[in-house]
Chains A and B, each alone.
With several copies, the nearest count.
Chain A
Amino acid sequence: MSILVSGATRLVVQGITGREGEFHSHAMQAFGTQIVAGVTPGKGGQTALNGSVPVFDTMAEAVREVGANASCIFVPAAAAPDAILEAADAAVALIVCITENIPALDMLRVYHVLRQQGIRLLGPNCPGLTSVAERAKVGIIPNDIHRPGSVGLVSRSGTLTYEVVQAMTDAGIGQSTCVGIGGDPIVGTGFIDVLDMFNEDPETEAMVMIGEIGGEEEERAAAFVKREVRKPMAAFIAGRTAPAGRRMGHAGAIISGGAGTAESKRAALDAAGVAVADSPSHIPQLLRAAGVGG
């Protein structure tokens, strides 16, 4: 089982004819994702992925013609907010935006429009998500790091996520769904949203949360976990050595006014009964200690 994506996901890739869009569409298809269309304005009528997928000019056509119900966006930052709004207008149920460096005020607007339309956005500036058991991936998480299992993982990071997933797989601990929520200050889906879904997902028996400095989402997630979650959980927070007042690569990763430190997040998680790792490599043993099997 999985959350958000499954074998029923009919994916359209916005920006499928671009370098990144094409590369990752091939990888998604190889993983098993059902890609039903691509959208590149002006390239309607062409095909992509070795002729296996039709390309449309608009999302409205992709939904009408081939019944797309999810979208993955590989569109440059200047055009990405519009691409998200287009996908939302076409009423796909899930939009995953990989694009980074989208201005925050654009995302503020997009966030609220989508929320009001009841459409789930993952990202931007995220690696997407992978349902391991259902072989459905929307995004750029490497294909071969997974092992099917019962641990749900949620992370603000990209390669750090892969690091943790690999460590779990190497230790024989499989994943249900791995979700990268993105490193921007305003993202469509937060930790709590995903933890809540994992908490309700019968196939997810334990959870891993990968946070980092900046904002107070991890603290809020800890409060949620304390209140709602009874499944075993482990966490890692990146940025214990990050200086205050500097943006650490991710637009959202900044300690400001004394808030958003790794220590504050670790303490909140610890207080919520979550096992907090000092290194990504410790996650598997923390999970084992919490009773998680293969």
Chain B
Amino acid sequence: MKLQEYRSKEILAQYGVPLQAGTTATTPEEAEAIARTIARPVVVKAQVLVGGRGKAGGVKLAETPEEAARHAEAILGMSIKGITVRTVLVAPAANIASEFYLALILDRAAKAITVITSAEGGVEIEKTASTHPEAILRMPLHPLIGLQEHNIRRVAFFLGISPDLRREFRQVLRGLYDAFVGTDADLAEINPLAITEDGRLTALDAKIVLDDSALARHPDLELMRDLNEEERSETAARQAGINFIKLDGSIGCMVNGAGLAMTTMDLVKLAGGEPANFLDIGGGAKADKVAAAFRIILDDPNVKAILINIFGGITRGDEVARGIVEARTTLARHVPMVVRIVGTNAAEAAPILAEANLITADSLDEAAAKAVAAARADA
């Protein structure tokens, strides 16, 4: 789960990272009022989870509170990569002497929390990696004892942090690490970490991405989820315990298992169609879950047909078949359904599906072809 800049900064501030958090506003008037209370100039920043907000005009400097209000007015309601800006962050602007990139990631290859840092701050690390990779230090930390003082020293010397700022730098990296571990993050990034002209270290922008699997033990962080930036259907799916991602095609997919769900999408494409979604219904899908999955899929008006692909293992085929038949009666909208059930209790599922006059298929390839055909016929 990605956190907004202002949420990420709230967290880093709690862990002692020096920064000027600023305050969020949802109206120009609020932005103006906030600007009045802090040192000028201020910066007004769109709070969206997509990249490139600067280029899109979502970050503006204001010399006066009135200017802050005008900028907020321009930014609020703006659409950045399809996301409507609903919140801006108003914070004191810094006079930047130099900028760094400093991040921690969960490094799958190194199987470690890894520091990634560069003296080239303010630009995307992928850009630095492609232009001059030697400017980047990638340092895996020991997985059982974590961030050590010598790790901090090495990063500080790599970045050329001056002796008088080393204590403060230690606080930044220690805080970033503690925040990473404390929130179960996948990524905790400060970009840029700036040295101001008056010689202070400060985190000007921050991004934290949380490990979804760990959210269960961080109810406080779960509350930071920004539902405005999530598809309504994805929110509904999450609440129903269904793995769902909305896509742009016309063939709704309902599958058990993530790998098989991706494969089902791939085969729809291979059959000449476009998947409308990724949907993994999980194990042991009963009627209520199937019904929820139907509602979520059909909430998308583009969906012209549904492909249901169940490989019975934990999930029993006949249960799913009954669930489908039962749930179908509750639907607001009807589209052709192609059902393929194999594996555990597939034989028991077959007559149930036949009786309900559902289109069935033996192989996944066949199911995909039938679903694509059905969607075309329906269009």
Point out residues on A near B: beta carbons under 8 Å: 20, 23-24, 41-42, 44, 57-61, 77-79, 82-83, 85-86, 89, 100-106, 108-109, 111-113, 127, 140-142, 145, 155-163, 166, 183-186, 210, 212-213, 215-217, 220, 236, 238-243, 246-253, 257-258, 262, 278-281
Contacts and interface: CB of A to CB of B under 8 A. Distances in A.
Interface string B108-143: 110111000000000000100000000000000011
A215 B157 contact: no
B269 A41 contact: no
B111 A77 contact: no
Given A104-B186, A104-B211, A162-B343, A82 B149 contact: yes
Interface of B: 106, 108-109, 111-113, 126, 142-145, 148-151, 153-154, 157, 163, 181, 184, 186, 211-214, 216-217, 243, 245, 247, 255-263, 265-270, 275, 278, 280, 311-314, 342-344, 363-365
B213 A101 contact: yes
Given A57-B153, A108-B143, 19 more contacts: A42-B163, A77-B216, A82-B149, A89-B150, A89-B151, A100-B213, A101-B216, A103-B211, A104-B184, A104-B214, A105-B214, A142-B312, A157-B260, A159-B259, A220-B109, A241-B269, A248-B245, A249-B258, A257-B126
Nearest to A162: B311
B259 A158 contact: yes
Given A103-B184, A239-B266, A250 B258 contact: yes
A69 B190 CA distance: 35
A156 B113 CA distance: 22
Query: Which of B262, B268, B312 counts the most chain A CB atoms within 10 A?
Result: B262
> Which 8 interchain pairs have the tightest Cβ spacing?
A249-B258, A157-B259, A159-B257, A160-B259, A86-B150, A103-B214, A238-B262, A159-B260
A110 to B, nearest CB: 9
A247 B209 CA distance: 12
Nearest to A239: B262
B211 A85 contact: no
A12 to B, nearest CB: 14
Contact of A112 (B144, B184, B265, B365): B144
B214 A240 contact: no
Contacts of B344: 142
Contacts of B268: 241
A167 B126 CA distance: 41
Contacts of B112: 108
Given A78-B217, A102-B213, A253 B109 contact: no
Contacts of B211: 103-105, 251
B15 to A, nearest CB: 16
A216 B111 CA distance: 12
Contacts of B126: 257-258
B109 A216 contact: yes
A184 B186 CA distance: 13
